[in-house]
A and B are shown apart, each in its own frame.
Chain A
Amino acid sequence: MKVINNRQIVDDSWQAIDDESNIKQLPDNKIIISLAFWNKHKQSLTARDDALGITLNPEDDVAEIAADLSSFALVVLQFPAFRDGRAYSQARNLRLHYDYQGEIRASGNVLRDQLAFMERVGFNSFEIDDHQDINDAINGFDEIEVKYQASSDESLPLYKRLTV
């Protein structure tokens, strides 16, 4: 599968792991697990050498994994429908309140016309929805250059950037 990482189309190097998987038979690879799987197998998982990613659902509070964030090279946030905007605030919380520096990936109904918003709040990895062309989607980032507000990409609002 192709994903957009830091505005480049690349092969996805992560493998998602089913909740039913046997903890002893995990692939030697970068794996993505659920919050439930993490909570159940925290000890064995931290002992692994390969990088870990975790998926949160929109209703999950990112504070739940705050103490464990250093274990994760990737946090995947879900868009069950593009209209469901909870993951924007989850991503913003991760960057703003927990200073999370790893990869934040948008998964689900991820569409070209929301990419710029997603990038601004802190997403830097995008699994584009199957029915959209990823080569077209990548053009969605720079349509609007003027950004009034501070967010994860700009630490100051426009007026302060102008007067600095």
Chain B
Amino acid sequence: MDTNPLPTTLIDKAETGQRPGMFIYNQFDQQLIDERVAQFRDQTQRYLAGKLSEDEYLSLRLMNGIYVQTHAPMLRIAIPYGLFSSEQMHMLAHISRTYDKDYGHFTTRQNIQFNWLKIEETPDLLADLASVQMHAIQTSGNCIRNTTSDPLAGVAADELEDPRPYCEIIRQWSTLHPEFAHLPRKFKIAVTGAQKDRAVTLIHDIALSLVKNETGEIGFKVSVGGGLGRTPMIAQTVRPFLEKQHLLSYLEAVLRIYNLKGRRDNKYKARIKILVGSMGVEAFTKLVEEEWLKIKDSMILDQAEIDRVKADFAPFAYEKNIDPKMLEQHTTTNPTFARWLDHNTSDHKVPGYRVVHVSLKSPLAAPGDISATQMDITASLAEQYSFGLLRSTYDQNLVFADVKQSDLFDLWQALDEADLATPTIGTLNDMICCPGLDFCALANASSIDVAADIQKRFQQLDYLYDLGDIDLKMSGCMNGCAHHSIGHIGILGVDKKGVEWYQFTLGGFSENEAKLGQRLGRAIAKADVADTVEKIAQVYIEQRQANERFVDTFYRIGIEPFKGRVYESH
């Protein structure tokens, strides 16, 4: 265990892994995660001593993020709403070296997973995490999971209000909530405060969107019953406007109705989307509102509490008058840099700053994977260039949210050297992909090698850029962890008599509204998947008008031309 000591900078700061710009734990927040580690250590010891059955321990370890996968136990660590610090990232590097095989995998839910652990070491690992205010509480199991949010929260120009304080308030309310620790199925909440929904909220069990009502007050639009998997559904609005002070009482009412009425006889019909779907949204809403009326006045969320949490997310003291000359010069003289700048950075609400998207889609690694060395490098770069904070994103990349324009060239060089600057953000090669058959016990088919085939096929950057924004998502089974149903191009791995096949859907999307993709036709053999993607791309190139995106062309011409091309020779 001592072979990889923590970097000395981290030991100095071991008192706290947190920084201005993120929620800072007080003694109670810290005490809770420390107590949870001690409790889990005891549970694990009782299991190893044979006092807890496999089944009983399974539920307890799931509540702490530990699955048993194909090769070894996997641990999913919570990154609340995707925001974490350099110290925390260094700790993740330390964990991957000490307990795992020197890498980790970022998920679509902004968390990170480690795949090669030993059960008996997990309590020590969790204690290490708690030393930097991190935990794995409720990252799996039939309970309220990590609340996800917009990776550009607080820096996006299209934002009405920063959603993260509300995410943190929800994190605290949902953490070890006694009534909702044994729900019919997992429960996911997402919050967004921007015009563009970068958190795909409508595929969550509860989607909260900050909106303004006719009197100018900001509150939440509440939608319920989204989810992917076997029965993909888009969340439906149950309350167009909810005052902030009622946030927690409303959540509590929804959860109480679901806990009592959700199906428990069939795990594939146990999500709240099935309850809402079978009752109808009106009947469901009526039940929720009745319950809510009874509890709302006793559960007021005080403005003082909102303000207390908000204070931790206050904007940084941004520099003014940053000289644009250097950036302009580098852009003119270095086309590779210019290309990266164009594709891997986006607008910041403050002039002189940009948001940098750190690509975890290198053709040399599985989508979302990051090595221990890259973890340390990104932690140090965030420290140097972005106030010591990082964000993980829905599309399995990282973000440095607050980079000065004048630092971009130096940052790019450092990222490029670490293979973290693949200039394909938002393109077809920036695909979302689950771990698939290679790691996951649930998977029917592999996804990582197929992803690599596709990325190789589209490695010509000019060709890739010409295709523009295409959202490709690939899951290794029906559970749909990579959200294939809402990909512009969705690919689902299935197993037919021991052979891996791939079903395509086209036209899914998730922006301000969301829509599920339509099935292209019969499943495709593994060897033909990359070919099929290419044929689909060709149809788009031939048929598109002016600046039309792939998905817009699809909705104009329909699925038939794609079907015709893909299946013509079969």
Contacts and interface: CB of A to CB of B under 8 A. Distances in A.
Interface size on A, as a range, is 35 or more
Contact of A145 (B31, B42, B43, B178): B31
Interface stretch (B256-264, B375-383, B436-444, B455-463): B256-264
Contacts of B298: 150, 155
Nearest to B262: A86
B56 A113 contact: yes
A90 B295 contact: no
Given A89-B260, A90-B260, A143 B35 contact: yes
Contact of A96 (B42, B177, B248, B295): B295
A145 B182 contact: no
Q: Main SS of the interface on chain A?
A: helix
B179 interface: yes
A158 interface: yes
Contacts of B178: 88, 116-118, 120-121, 149, 151
Given A114-B182, A148-B175, A82 B59 contact: yes
A89 B56 contact: no
A40 B299 CA distance: 39
Interface string B49-83: 00110001001100000000000000000000000
A149 B173 contact: yes
Nearest to A160: B302
Contacts of B28: 146, 158, 162
B495 interface: no
Interface of B: 28-29, 31-32, 35-36, 38-39, 42-43, 51-52, 56, 59-60, 142, 172-173, 175-183, 248, 256, 259-260, 264, 294-295, 298-299, 302, 304-305, 308
Given A116-B178, A145-B31, A159-B305, 13 more contacts: A82-B182, A84-B264, A89-B259, A89-B260, A114-B182, A143-B38, A144-B39, A148-B175, A150-B299, A151-B178, A155-B298, A157-B248, A159-B302
23 contacts: A82-B59, A83-B142, A83-B182, A84-B182, A85-B180, A85-B182, A85-B183, A88-B178, A88-B180, A88-B181, A88-B182, A89-B179, A92-B256, A97-B294, A113-B52, A114-B181, A114-B182, A117-B181, A117-B182, A120-B179, A148-B176, A157-B248, A159-B302
Interface of A: 82-86, 88-90, 92-93, 96-97, 111, 113-114, 116-118, 120-121, 136, 143-151, 155, 157-160, 162-163
